[in-house]
Amino acid sequence: MASEIELDEVTEALDDKDNFTRHSNVGIALHKVLFGALKDFIDTKLPGKADPSDINEALLILEKSSLVESKVQNSARKVRTDVRNAWASGNIDTWTSASYNTSFRLMQSLLSEINNSSSRLLAELEGVKRREVDDVIKICPIAKGRFGNVWTVKCNSLGQQLFALKIVRMYHLGKQEFMRETDALKRLDHPGIVKLYNSFITEMDGFKVS
């Protein structure tokens, strides 16, 4: 029979898994869906503005521009302060179900306001919110260190196969160094070396899937 300590550890691991997944999904929604839509809007509606280099810069442009409606300015400000900044802090403990749903609601509102015919983008955003939460399961930690953590993960869409997900804090490792390392690992195919299947970078973290 499991002890109270073991049950507490299981409960804590499940909570960490849910919060981790929510944090990851918000990052994907910000960078893969919302950023592209904001760049297109800025290019079309704000000619002469320099192309934003990231989601934070894009939100700041909308927030401060006098050429957009006040509701767009306010929505951009809310997404930047309540969603992007909360996500960039890297504190996964804050990503409860309530804060997660609120974040996606704010992103959906901004999308609707900058593009009245954004049904495809809204569906894509909803897909990130739902599919990834159901699909990615963070099972247990493998190792933790100064430069990052490694977790055992499973994707429901890929069956029962387990993967190792390494999360590297990018302030310890530069983007170019991370990319050189992952490019080299992807080319390696040896039974004595863990195979790298994929990698990607957000503002705060680098991810390696093996």
Same domain, 87 and 23: yes
Mean pLDDT of the chain: 75
Q: Are 138 and 16 in contact (CB under 8 A)?
A: yes
Same domain, 130 and 153: no
Range(s) of the domain holding residue 111: 4-134
Assigned domain for 197 exists: yes
Same domain, 33 and 102: yes
Same domain, 62 and 161: no
Assigned domain for 139 exists: no
The arithmetic mean of pLDDT across residues 139-154, rounded, is 72
Assigned domain for 35 exists: yes
In the chain, the number of structural domains is 2
| pLDDT of 11 above 60 | no
User: Dihedral of CA 59/52/43/65: which sign?
Assistant: positive
Same domain, 171 and 152: yes
Structure confidence at residue 81 (pLDDT) = 94
CATH code, domain with 154: 3.30.200.20
| pLDDT grade for 199, boundaries at 50, 70 and 90 | low
Same domain, 112 and 51: yes
Amino acid at 170: M
Higher pLDDT, 133 or 26: 26
Same domain, 67 and 165: no
Same domain, 112 and 183: no
The pLDDT tens digits for 41-93 are 898 888 777 788 889 999 999 999 888 899 999 999 999 999 999 888 777 77
Lowest mean pLDDT among 15-24, 91-100, 111-120: 15-24
Assigned domain for 140 exists: no
| pLDDT grade for 7, boundaries at 50, 70 and 90 | very low
| pLDDT of 116 above 50 | yes
